[in-house]
Amino acid sequence: MISEFAPAKINLSLHLVGQKSDGYHLLDSIVSFVNVGDRISIEPGKSGDLKVAGPFAKDLPRSNHNLVLKAARLFNNIKLSRITLEKNIPVTSGIGGGSADAAATVRLFSKFYNKPELTVEKLISLGSDVPVCMQKGIVRMMGVGEEIINLSPAPKVGILLVNPRKALSTAEVFSAVKEKNNPGLNLQGSGEKSLNSWFDWINSMRNDLTASAIDLIPDIRFILDKLITCDGARVVRMSGSGATCFALFEDFDLLQDARLKIMKECPSFWCESGELI
């Protein structure tokens, strides 16, 4: 069995800057990745079905099962091996999920079968977040997901992820947004070497989907308020369309203290710590 890690994708910021005539929304977003995520494995010589395992396997909708297989089937003229998806992060949670799994499948099949990686057009046919999930470090994602600019390696920053274990429809969140033509990102500060300046830069941004997501799941506001009270939290925000929220930490000891605090006060929530990669 050979495998590929599918790191969770974090929207450190998400600016909604417009909407196309076909309904697709235009974004300007700073994205990073964490050492928390799913894993895709293949067993050469075994039949080409899909097995789903892991703590969130039972929550995965059947339609999402197909995204990994759809990614594999984009590689022509190969006999599909058995694929195992180890689902370790909540489903429909604003941190990549199926897109990260599809991207990991593409990387795995490309390496194992010695095939070139897929074009952006093919990647985006799987989902608007799939092209960015092929990247590493700090990335700017624009348009409907097809415009990617790699900015820098990830700084040594810890992250606490909290999700209320409630799935949130991306389409519903976007539909509920009242203002869809907002200012884009200001890249002044993106090249700062100082970690304090980098945190200031991220804090100067926003997530334009937060208010509509809170209207649909009020627990998001509860989580954000909890994270703000954690000692050492330098940035607190919702990722993507929610419902996962995060806090960034420079001090990894304070990060673990915050994790224990949230787990004690909110035992029903999913709570995981890691670092940007």
Identify which of 176, 108, 103, 141 has the alpha carbon closest to the alpha carbon of residue 27.
141
Instruction: Pinpoint the alpha helices (H) of the chain.
Output: 62-73, 98-112, 120-126, 170-176, 195-203, 210-216, 219-228, 252-265
Cβ-Cβ contacts under 8 Å for 30 (sequence gap 6 or more): 11, 12, 13, 138, 139, 140, 141, 151, 185, 202, 205
Distance set, CA 196 to CA 29, 30, 43, 188, 207 (Å): 20, 17, 45, 14, 20
Query: From CA 60, how far away is CA 49, in angstroms rounded?
Result: 16
156 an active-site residue?
no
Query: Quick one: DSSP state of residue 76?
Result: T
Residue 141's φ and ψ, nearest 5 degrees, are -115, 130
C-alpha torsion 26→121→110→42, nearest 10: 70
Place of tokens 């890690």: 5
Structure tokens at 110: 């490309």
129 an active-site residue?
yes
Query: From CA 65, how far away is CA 74, in angstroms rounded?
Result: 15
Options 9, 28, 101, 226, the catalytic residue: 9
Options 28, 38, 101, 129, the catalytic residue: 129
Place of tokens 């050469």: 44
Active-site residues: which are they?
9, 129
